[in-house]
Amino acid sequence: MTEWWGDAVVYQVYPRSFADTNNDGIGDLAGITAHLDHLAWLGVDGLWISPVHPSPNADWGYDVADYFGVHPDLGTLDDFDALIEEADRLGLRVLLDLVPNHSSVQHPWFLDARRGRDAAHRDWYVWADPSPDGGPPNNWVSSFFGPAWSLDERTGQYFLHSFLVDQADFNWWNDDVRDEFDRILAFWFDRGVAGFRIDVCHMIIKDRLLRDNPPATTADHFMDQLRGQRPEYNSCRPEVHDVLRRWRALGARYDPPRVLLGETYVFDLDQLASFYGHDDELQLALNFPFLLGDFNADALRDVVERTEVTLPGEATPVWTMGNHDVSRFPTRWCGDDPRRARAALVMLLGLRGTTVLYYGDELATPDTNVPVDRLVDPVSVRYHPVANRDAARTPMRWNADRGAGFTADSVDPWLPFGDAAAGSVADQRDNPDSALHLTRDLIALRRELPALRAGRYETWPAPAGVWAWRRGDSALVAVNFAETSTALNGVDGTVRVSTDRARDGEPVGGRLVLGPLEAVIVALT
Ligand code: GLC
Ligand code: CA
């Protein structure tokens, strides 16, 4: 298996926060283009850009109002073409974000659908009559909590919104919706997009009979228990696989074949495995049990071992420590302890499969403490401090200037900058001991050692608090989650990268000593 994405490192860009070239405080496509050299220097294979389309920004781009355009805040289609051209020149692939579960309620299709029960686009969305008592048609709740249905007074029916009331769910039983999305995929594939990250991939198709979800039990995931129901009829429906097969076949008509990376937000690994199909659905499915797991040796080893045995033989696992919806890993997992954050980077880049880094992960950027009056994400506004997505969406720090190299010094960006002490690209590039250099060296090592690229995963016996694994026959990764030193036996080779950079190149003869919170990759002999 030698497809580019099979052992890749993909870098997620949150476009509003990457780099602002026209000094309006908002990152833009030209800013991404201008900084692609950073990604090339880092050594990643490609980038995934969160939505760039016109949008009223009720959910910051995840409420699309035109699937064929570029949001004026971010630039134009010409800017997009220029981005692709520069990415090609640098050998970087570009993935866009596809949002097929819902559109903005401001999308012309939904505006039309609302006009009347016989409107041309009525059936493009999920409508249902009130229940006999006048309430919602069934008991489904929004992923963001609260009812998933709102009454459209004018036409007397409810419409479904699995997220915000500003995001109306498409009716994927309708063939015109399927055809239109084929056109959307082809439009961007033809423009040179290497693939899509597919938003809410598991939920797009709903039970045709709109049956009530059963109550959650203690066996269900914590979030389902909080919502009070198991998403039996509005998530992971068998028919979602037809849609994924259709998209995979569409992507296969291109050279190179286009890639589908799913936001498969499921906690059951058999369900996760199902999204790969028989190598005819997603090539890549994001692993949320890992991302949202606890940061300790037992918990993460368990997820990885179970994933390795559960995914179909040819499937590529996908590991990530962050995205625009969760607290950044140095804060959420590592308690802002830089030693832990460095160990986490070694762990992530030592796993088999494809890795997705979130912008700033390479700097070990922690969460930003965004003041309540600066919150802009509706989920953060509603649920902070329990949930705060804005904390992970603040502007990238490129240098130590007032504007952080993100924007002009005089400009107040759309979200505030994080703490300067967390460091910038420029500072960290000057410091060979930085998280940035560690990340770059780990990516380079993945390219250099075939075992780190493709070698199978095999757990290596290790004392409590340590997670170690072999990759193929010739690489060993060991992560000490404990504050005390320890050792592994039977290791012969050379330390290639350690979180303690002074050890790089050190020979190991039988006994591999690990310092507190140290992580190493050893080339075995
Ligand atoms: C996905 C996105 C998230 C968005 C939601 C609704 O989970 O990652 O940011 O709010 O879908 O589109
Ligand atoms: Ca801008």
pLDDT per position as a tens digit, 371-422: 999 999 999 999 999 999 999 999 999 999 999 999 999 999 999 999 888 8
Which amino acid appears at position 401 of this protein? Answer: D
Task: Please report the atom of ligand 1 found closest to the CA of residue 63.
Answer: 12
In the prediction, which pLDDT does 228 show? 95
Token pair belonging to 364: 């070990």
Q: How far apart (Å, rounded) are the C-alpha atoms in residues 311 and 502?
A: 38
**Mean pLDDT estimate for the chain:** 97
Which atom of ligand 1 lies at the shortest distance from residue 144's CA? Answer: 10
167 CA from centroid of ligand 1 (Å)? 10
CA-proximal residue: ligand 1, atom 9 (nearest): 325
Ligand nearest to the CA of 161: 1
* Mean pLDDT across 485-505: 98
Average pLDDT of the residues in 23-40: 98
Among the options 73, 199, 281, 362, which is catalytic?
199
d(CA 310, CA 319): 15
Residue pLDDT, tens place only, 283-332: 999 999 999 999 999 999 999 999 999 999 889 999 999 999 999 999 99
Does the Cβ of 59 fall within 6 Å of ligand 1?
yes
Please check the confidence at residue 75 and state whether its pLDDT lies above 80: yes
263 part of the active site: yes
Q: Assess whether the C-beta atom of 199 lies below 6 angstroms from ligand 1.
A: yes
User: Which ligand 1 atom is at minimum distance from the Cα of 162?
Assistant: 6
Q: What is the pLDDT of residue 22?
A: 98
Q: Is 200 in the pocket of ligand 1 (CB under 6 A)?
A: yes
Residue 244: closest CA among 285, 209, 211: 285
Order of all β-strands in the sheet with 457-460? 457-460, 466-471, 475-480, 519-524, 486-498, 507-514
The alpha helices in 281-327, defined as continuous H runs, are 288-291, 297-310
Expressed in angstroms and rounded, the spacing between residue 14 Cα and the centre of ligand 2 is 13
* Closest-lying ligand 1 atom to the alpha carbon of residue 325: 9
Which segments within 240-298 are labelled E, that is strand? 259-262, 284-286
Question: Is pLDDT of 17 > 80?
Answer: yes
- 424 Cα to the center of ligand 2, angstroms: 20
* 17 alpha carbon – ligand 2 mean position (Å): 9
Rounded mean pLDDT, 66-91: 98
Nearest CA to ligand 1 atom 4: 62
Residue 1 has pLDDT above 70, yes or no: no
Q: Is the pLDDT of residue 158 over 70?
A: yes
pLDDT in tens, 243-293: 999 999 999 999 999 999 999 999 999 999 999 999 999 999 999 999 999
Average the pLDDT over 432-438 and give the result. Answer: 98
What is the CB neighbour count within 10 angstroms for residue 310? 15
199 among known catalytic residues? yes
The per-residue pLDDT for 314 is 87
Give per-residue pLDDT as tens, 219-252: 999 999 999 999 999 999 999 999 999 999 999 9
Model confidence, pTM: 0.98
